[in-house]
Amino acid sequence: MKITQALIFPLSIPLIEPIKMAKEVIVDAKTVLVGLTDEDGRQGWGEASVAPLMTGETLDSLLASVKYLAEKVRTTEWADPKGFISQLDAILYGNPSAKSCLEMALLDLYTQKKSIPLWKYLQSLSNGNAVASPNEIPLLRMLGGSLEKEIEDAKTFRQAGFKHWKIKIGLLSLDEDLHRVKVLSELLKGDVVSVDANGAMSLEDAICFCESTEAKNLSFAEQLINANSSLEDFVKLKKHSAIPIALDESIHGIQEIEEFMKAKAFNGASLKLIKTGGILEAWTCAQTLREKSFKLNLACKVAETSLSGAATASIGFALGEVPWGFSMSNQYLQFDICDKPLRANQGHLDCAQMNIVGVGITPNISRVKDAVAQGYSTIQY
């Protein structure tokens, strides 16, 4: 497979409302889209978003890496998807987000050429039983804002079928967060309710939180302490916690997963393509977690379009289950770059919304061009 053309779009899409996290407030989604054309005229698409506090990427740095890779991919033969990342590694060191973007586009082309959906290709890499149509996967909904707004949103979205929830903590005092968690977990009793501190808590506060009666009904607590904390701190937190511990910013691939497994420092992980460096590495991580009876959450960064959502969901469809839910973040955008954005159906995503071959989503070029970030322009090679 040869690449004849590459198009790069640096995008900025406003959110429906700002999302407040412990260390940042996000008002728009900054993401990079790549369109690769092969020798037969097919077009494959990839996406990666900026995440300064997770991957160290800004729009400028991510764009520079994607441009460098996109220019080089035209001089390479792309035959075996299992070798795509090693081929990209030979072109550029590090930069997992940019590589995930290019790998997604290449996999889109490859699976279109083979006339199969991406999820079915992933399933072929495992020893699992092939299925004609995969199970729908549960979508996770974030709660934020005032407690009154969180309660109102929880009631509204629960009535719409959502059963998986994430409460952002770490921005307020420990006592205030514990009160919010108690109220919301009681309101959503029986659902999968989690919290995420994005690493903002001290070890002492994290232990107090996990030992508290207010948090006892949570399904898991995600990344309470800083990703740069010592392994001993994570082990200590896990040992003292009465609820399952999940890690996000600490997990960038199979190496960290195996390290934390060996240390018995967590119960499960959140996987994002921009962290793992691509779909196939995320697939390896997901299979390892499942085989070792650890839990799993799939997530897009806040906020990515339906393109990244479809690519990430393909891992869930291939697995057959996502016990901690899938954070499909296009639901927080004011508009998407696809004519038919992925939507929740009774709190779940079904495969029928996606194309029957490839990653599953084809962007509308006019919509993409309308979303190009101010001060930037489309790049073509």
Strand partners, 33: 9, 47
* Assigned domain for 258 exists: yes
Same domain, 224 and 133: yes
Q: Are 137 and 319 in contact (CB under 8 A)?
A: no
Q: Are strands 25-38 and 295-299 parallel, antiparallel or unpaired?
A: unpaired
* Assigned domain for 110 exists: yes
* Assigned domain for 85 exists: yes
Same domain, 141 and 278: yes
* Assigned domain for 300 exists: yes
Which tokens go with 89?
């590694």
CA distance 268 to 253: 13
Among 36, 35, 39, 14, smallest CA distance to 26 is for 14
* Assigned domain for 92 exists: yes
Which tokens go with 203?
């070890």
- Please give the pLDDT value at position 129: 64
Same domain, 165 and 304: yes
Same domain, 299 and 226: yes
Same domain, 194 and 309: yes
In which domain, by residue range, is 369 found? 3-115+363-380
CA distance 48 to 56: 13
* DSSP 8-state secondary structure symbol assigned to residue 358: B
Same domain, 216 and 71: no
Non-local CB neighbours of 178 within 8 Å, separated by 6+ positions? 209, 212, 214, 215
Among 236, 247, 311, 218, smallest CA distance to 273 is for 311
The phi and psi torsions of 54 (rounded to 5 degrees) equal -115, -45
* Assigned domain for 20 exists: yes
* DSSP 8-state secondary structure symbol assigned to residue 267: S
The whole-model pTM stands at: 0.96
Q: Are strands 25-38 and 3-20 parallel, antiparallel or unpaired?
A: antiparallel
Give the chain's length.
Answer: 381
Same domain, 317 and 343: yes
Same domain, 132 and 93: no
- Please give the pLDDT value at position 344: 97
Q: Are strands 137-138 and 348-349 parallel, antiparallel or unpaired?
A: antiparallel
The phi and psi torsions of 377 (rounded to 5 degrees) equal -145, 165
* CATH number of the domain bearing residue 107: 3.30.390.10
* CATH number of the domain bearing residue 241: 3.20.20.120
* Assigned domain for 340 exists: yes
- Please give the pLDDT value at position 24: 81
* Assigned domain for 358 exists: no
Q: Are 48 and 274 in contact (CB under 8 A)?
A: yes
Query: Which position has the token pair 């009154």?
Result: 148
Separation in Å, CA 63 to CA 30, 98, 157, 333, 338: 11, 8, 35, 21, 21
Same domain, 104 and 26: yes
Separation in Å, CA 117 to CA 121, 123, 318, 319, 352: 7, 10, 10, 14, 11
Same domain, 64 and 213: no
Among 186, 182, 216, 163, smallest CA distance to 326 is for 163
Same domain, 208 and 343: yes
Please report, in tens digits, the pLDDT of each residue of the chain (381 residues total): 999 999 999 999 999 998 888 778 889 999 999 999 999 999 999 999 999 989 999 999 999 999 999 999 999 999 999 999 999 999 999 999 999 999 999 999 999 999 999 999 999 998 666 777 899 999 999 998 899 999 999 999 999 999 999 999 999 999 999 999 999 999 999 999 999 999 999 999 999 999 999 999 999 999 999 999 999 999 999 999 999 999 999 999 999 999 999 999 999 999 999 999 999 999 999 999 999 999 999 999 988 999 999 999 999 999 999 999 999 999 999 999 999 999 999 999 999 999 999 999 999 999 999 999 999 999 999
Alpha helices for the chain (secondary structure H): 59-73, 84-89, 96-113, 118-124, 147-159, 174-187, 203-211, 231-240, 254-263, 273-276, 279-291, 306-319, 365-370
Same domain, 171 and 40: no
In the chain, the number of structural domains is: 2
The phi and psi torsions of 20 (rounded to 5 degrees) equal -95, 125
- Please give the pLDDT value at position 128: 63
